[in-house]
Amino acid sequence: MDVIGYLGSGFAVALQPFNLMMALFGVFIGTAVGMLPGIGPVNGIVVLIPLTYALHLPPESVLIMFAGIYYGSQYGNSISAILLNVPGTSAAVVTALEGHAMTLKGQAGPALAMSAIASFFGGTVSVIALMLFAPLLAQWAIRFGPAEYFALMIFAFSTLSSLSGSNLFKGLIATIIGLMLATVGLDPISAVDRYTFGQLKLLDGLDFVVVVIGFFAINEILRLSREIGSVHKLSTELGRVMITLRDFWNSFWTMVRGSLIGFFVGVLPGAGGTIASFVAYTTEKRLIDREGTFGKGDIRGVASPESANNAAANGAMIPLLTLGVPGSETTAVMLGALLGMNIIPGPLFIHNNPTLFWSLVASMYIGNILLLILNLPLVGMFVRILRVPRWFLMPAVVAISFVAVYAVNNSPFDILLMAGFGVLGFLMRINGFPLASVILGLVLGPLMENNLRRALSISNGDWTVLWSSPIAIGLWVLAIASLFLPLILHRVTPEGVTVPTDDDANVE
């Protein structure tokens, strides 16, 4: 069966009424949580993971919903960034540069409309690329052995740590903390308990949902509690939520470039929408800003990062599904959910799960259309959601988090762990330690350890096996090169533009 045939079978699954409902629910929730500062797609997904387990939902329906939340949140991020200059994630910081400037000029409506159209454009282009390139990458990835997988994970860690801010040392420490958390429980080979401190409940390791909800949801509540006295003024002058044909044509090639940049950056493990948005915006500023309008409310400066971050969200699905390596915190959470359903992403994923993969691809076409139809007429309603008072929002998030964590194992001990990780995450964040590295270390730590042991077992303890193949050597070179990426970005950054980090806004 060719690609068209596989895609047709995927649409047959994605167009089933229940899956259509899950796609609509996903993009709606994604938009809502994306535009609320302090919530984000990670929290939206982790809260729903226990519910999907309890209801025994089909894997394709779960993945369709989670993907919808992910790319739906990319548009939601832009709403608070454009109207309030309060980005919901670090990726939306770039959108705020031009979007809020347009709001101050009374052009919030066109800015929001361009955001929706650019998100649709970037999502559609990246889905086409996902459909064409993911099977090819999967065939190539079959050549990966234990040594290659170990080198790949080192590359993922080095990439994420190098992009964690100005202090590389803190990024490396955060990565080590994540790897340490991954070692809690029984040794996978000798079955000796490690770092359990006599607690029987830790023999199976740290529950993924407990740790993630603590690190993100509780951490965000603590952060918002510090800012309880802050007030943001909402611009009520939206204007007409539409763009002219001239604006669309002037921004067309900007969206093309942003979509391609976003997709290929999103494929890189650990890069995500933040770097995609920044690189796309910087590229456009250098290519087309001949009149110095960027930074003063140029609509092309909204089209570029919005097409890029949405494309990056879809691009991140390639390493997640074909290599089992998440490209962002959100896909790391999705990886944990897939493993919880006994679905193992990797080189044979497409071959072993064709229905799951192609229904996901088809649902992305549908979801992007739903996202466009949903958001253009409902911008006014989403603006009212932004007025939800924090005294109501924060207790609601806390209650949902407690219920979700307790429902995993019916254990009060898990609630205490969640609270502890929330405090740890909060302390790390205010001191500039990136949470992205911690969660990636927690997810990839066991896989990294197993592949290292397998590689050394095959080679009878010869460490040179870790760099004995061309693929492994290439990945080690990329890992080393990625450590110098912050210096390169600093040298090419235009004056007045800074690289968004976790210190600036919520992690993606």
Q: How many other CB atoms are found less than 10 A from the CB of residue 477?
A: 13
Task: Say what angle helices 3-14 and 354-375 make with each other, to 10 degrees.
Answer: 60
Q: Count CA atoms within 13 Å of residue 7 on its CB side.
A: 15
Alpha carbon distance 457, 476 (integer Å)? 21
Using only the alpha carbons of the chain, give its radius of gyration.
22
State both tokens at 362: 């088809």
Q: Are the beta carbons of 267 and 315 closer than 8 angstroms? A: yes
Residue 490 is predicted with a pLDDT of 54
Residue 436 is predicted with a pLDDT of 65
Point out the residues of the chain with pLDDT beneath 50: 162-163, 230-236, 493, 495-508
The H-or-E segment that residue 246 falls in is: helix 245-267
Residue 155 is predicted with a pLDDT of 76
pTM of the entire predicted model: 0.62
Residue 144, classed as helix, strand or coil, is coil
Alpha carbon distance 12, 264 (integer Å)? 29
Q: Which residue has the tokens 């709001």?
A: 103
Alpha carbon distance 132, 144 (integer Å)? 21
**Nearest alpha carbon to residue 216 among 385, 43, 34, 346:** 43
Q: Are the beta carbons of 281 and 174 closer than 8 angstroms? A: no
Q: Are the beta carbons of 499 and 90 closer than 8 angstroms? A: no
Alpha carbon distance 252, 108 (integer Å)? 20
Residue 500 is predicted with a pLDDT of 43
Biggest distance spanned by C-alpha atoms of the chain: 69
Q: What is the dihedral of CA 56, 57, 62, 65, to 10 degrees?
A: -130
Q: Are the beta carbons of 105 and 82 closer than 8 angstroms? A: no
Q: What angle do CA 135, 137, 138 make, to 5 degrees?
A: 60
Q: Are the beta carbons of 435 and 160 closer than 8 angstroms? A: no
Fill in the DSSP letter of residue 403.
H
Alpha carbon distance 299, 115 (integer Å)? 9
Residue 229 is predicted with a pLDDT of 53
User: Letter for the amino acid at 189?
Assistant: I
Phi–psi pair at 77, nearest 5 degrees: -55, -35
State both tokens at 410: 């019916």
Q: How many other CB atoms are found less than 10 A from the CB of residue 372?
A: 18
Alpha carbon distance 71, 237 (integer Å)? 27
